[in-house]
Amino acid sequence: MNENSVFASRMGLATLGLATLGLATLGLLTASLVTGCGPGPTPPQANVAASTVEPDTASSRDFGEYALYFNAIRTDALTPEIAKMNNIARSANRALVNISMVKKAEGTTGAPVPGAVTVQAVNLNGQFKDLTVREVREGDAIYYIGDVSVADDETLVFTVDATPIDTTSRLSLRFQRQFYGP
């Protein structure tokens, strides 16, 4: 009996037909079974439960020191000038998502802040939509826009994760919009 067979016998694996597996293979098998079981890594905690969807009429959420503003509209609602300036195709089959972060300051409307912003879009059938946001600066304004394809009367749920620069505060929310045909 070789060393692998002795090990397999001791572990009770011979009856499973695994006695011929090498120790390295057995180690990989065990590791893959262990990592395949149980929960995966825990994502960072957000300031709001990501499963909560904002009311349909909401366009902002207060996060204490910051406010997060959000909206999504069909791109054919944009003026031709605005669409051209931002390199956005005007179409009844495209939606524009717009996100901005504002640091609140007593007695003012606050100050826009840059940071990292990601947005995911998924329809009610669970299909993810391709969506990448980019930063836009106009004067003092800073916002993040991206566009995504939409079908007539399609509802999209947007998951927004924003982290203002020079902070670890993650501002997360979900909102949904239905995009009606022309």
The reply to whether 49 falls in a domain is: no
* CA–CA separation, 49 and 63 (whole Å): 12
The reply to whether 164 falls in a domain is: yes
Q: List phi, psi (to 5°) of 164.
A: -60, 150
Contact (Cβ atoms closer than 8 angstroms) between residue 70 and residue 175:
yes
Residues 8-39: tens digit of each pLDDT: 333 333 333 333 333 333 333 333 333 344 44
Residues 94 and 174 grouped into a single domain:
yes
Beta-bridge partners for 163:
116
Which residue is it, tokens 């100050």? 111
Kindly report the average pLDDT of the chain as a whole number.
Answer: 78
Which of 145, 138, 149, 173 is closest to 74 using CA atoms?
149
Residues 128-165: tens digit of each pLDDT: 999 999 999 999 999 999 999 999 899 999 999 999 99
Residues 97 and 139 grouped into a single domain:
yes
Residues 23 and 103 grouped into a single domain:
no
Question: In this model, does residue 98 exceed pLDDT 60?
Answer: yes
Range of the domain at 164: 60-179
Residues 84 and 172 grouped into a single domain:
yes
* CA–CA separation, 179 and 153 (whole Å): 5
Contact (Cβ atoms closer than 8 angstroms) between residue 141 and residue 100:
yes
Q: How many structural domains compose the chain?
A: 2
Per-residue pLDDT at 40: 41
Per-residue pLDDT at 169: 87
The reply to whether 10 falls in a domain is: yes
Contact (Cβ atoms closer than 8 angstroms) between residue 121 and residue 147:
no
Per-residue pLDDT at 24: 34
CATH classification of the domain holding 77: 2.60.40.3340
Residues 7 and 81 grouped into a single domain:
no
Question: In this model, does residue 44 exceed pLDDT 80?
Answer: no
Residues 169 and 82 grouped into a single domain:
yes
Question: In this model, does residue 85 exceed pLDDT 80?
Answer: yes
Q: pTM for the full model?
A: 0.70
pLDDT tier at 181, thresholds 50, 70, 90: confident
Which of 134, 165, 162, 142 is closest to 173 using CA atoms?
162
Per-residue pLDDT at 56: 85
Per-residue pLDDT at 57: 86
Question: In this model, does residue 95 exceed pLDDT 80?
Answer: yes
